[in-house]
Amino acid sequence: MTDPLILTLDEVRGLAERVLRRHGFGEAHAGAIARTLTAAERDECHHHGLFRLPFYVAALKSGQASGDAEPVVDDLAPGALRIDARLGFAPLALERGEEALAARAASQGIAALAINNANNVGPLWPEVEALASRGLVAFAFTSAIPYVAPAGGTKPLFGTNPMAFGWPRPDGPPLVFDQASSASARGEIQIRLRDGKTLPEGWAIGPDGEPTTDPKEALAGAQLPFGGAKGSSIALMIELLAGPLIGDVLSFEAGERDKAGTGSPCGGELILAMDPARLSAGGDRAAQLAHGERLFRRILDQDGTRLPSERRYAARLRTAREGVRIAPALRQTLASLGEEI
């Protein structure tokens, strides 16, 4: 089990699907989750990849998540759809809603998709990338679990509350960012704890409310928003968008709901999609996207810059050639889930 193991993307997907099926997920959910995990491995976002399998399995075992709930799509308004995920995981709901949302954006100019009661431990970039690949501009927002103190405060209240944005590009995959409104991902703190490293200043405060660079203190205390009061405002906005706006929970409520402590937050996600061709006089998508490219060129003309998602797309090309490397620790995890590879 110490040799490096390399899998193809098809093997990764097949493996994920087998594990999920073995542990009680129905075919539709297992397939959708496996596709998301595989996309994460493909882009070398390993912390959202196979590494997450135990989270999915634990949430199902605890009774907190459903492995076979069929997401129900409702029509709320001409520009608003809703999917009740009925405690299923988000990926199937997202697949079910994508085409309907895209169609509404095209007919209305802008449309919203509210996803309720979804267990969500995945990234947000897949959904905005999917919409932007259809030529739409997209946002996604979700909240939970309460790990982050509001600016000036000392106690966890906000989730790490990511916001993702996607913009279509004419000759390649879209420009996408997906960023937490906390100064760091929680996983980055956990990794530093594991590796015996300290944290940069500004990431966290300890249980005593004082700034700390000790990962253990940070995990027992509170993470901080990125960028001070401005990041805190964004975290607050995301709480409202993914919660009360769409009739779903706030991060602190999702935390209270997670009785099993699986860390699998169940709650809301808001997705917005806009059609550039419907939002400008004379709507000329090709000209509008070419205009965006002029900005991207100006950015890249400056040494030291890069575009959001560049690293993921570079990884994607690399993985297609070289496959996915499965680390020994992950092999042990997979073995514990009944998958000896």
Please return the burial class of 214, using the count of CB atoms within 10 Å of its CB with bins 0-12, 13-18 and 19+.
middle
- Is 157 a residue that touches a second copy (CB under 8 A)? yes
User: Which span (110-118, 123-131, 319-327, 328-336) binds a second copy, by CB under 8 A?
Assistant: 110-118
- Is 216 a residue that touches a second copy (CB under 8 A)? no
- Return phi, psi of residue 122, to 5°: -95, 175
CA distance 141 to 212: 28
- Is 281 a residue that touches a second copy (CB under 8 A)? yes
> Which tokens go with 290?
């070419």
Q: Please report how close the Cβ of residue 122 comes to a second copy at its closest, in angstroms.
A: 20
- Of residues 16, 161, 275, 312, which one binds a second copy by CB under 8 A? 275
CA distance 158 to 106: 34
Q: Please report how close the Cβ of residue 58 comes to a second copy at its closest, in angstroms.
A: 28
Residue 320 CB coordination number (10 Å): 11
Instruction: Tell which positions 24-63 bind a second copy, by CB under 8 A.
Output: none
- Is 311 a residue that touches a second copy (CB under 8 A)? no
Strand boundaries in the chain, DSSP class E: 5-7, 72-77, 80-84, 110-119, 137-142, 163-169, 172-179, 204-205, 211-212, 222-223, 266-274, 324-326
> Which tokens go with 89?
């995981």
User: Which span (33-41, 43-51, 120-128, 288-296) binds a second copy, by CB under 8 A?
Assistant: 288-296
- Of residues 14, 54, 109, 173, which one binds a second copy by CB under 8 A? 109
- The alpha carbon of 152 is separated from its chain's Cα centroid by a whole number of angstroms, namely 27
Q: Is 29 helix (H, G, I), strand (E, B) or coil?
A: helix
Contact between 90 and 120 (Cβ < 8 Å): yes
Q: Please report how close the Cβ of residue 223 comes to a second copy at its closest, in angstroms.
A: 14
Q: Please report how close the Cβ of residue 306 comes to a second copy at its closest, in angstroms.
A: 7
User: Which span (23-31, 58-66, 187-195, 293-301) binds a second copy, by CB under 8 A?
Assistant: 293-301
- Binding string to a second copy for residues 111 to 150, with x set by CB under 8 A, is what? xx-x-x--------------------x-----------xx
Q: Is 54 helix (H, G, I), strand (E, B) or coil?
A: helix
- Is 89 a residue that touches a second copy (CB under 8 A)? no
Q: Please report how close the Cβ of residue 258 comes to a second copy at its closest, in angstroms.
A: 17
- Of residues 24, 26, 153, 211, which one binds a second copy by CB under 8 A? 153
- Of residues 252, 258, 262, 333, which one binds a second copy by CB under 8 A? 252
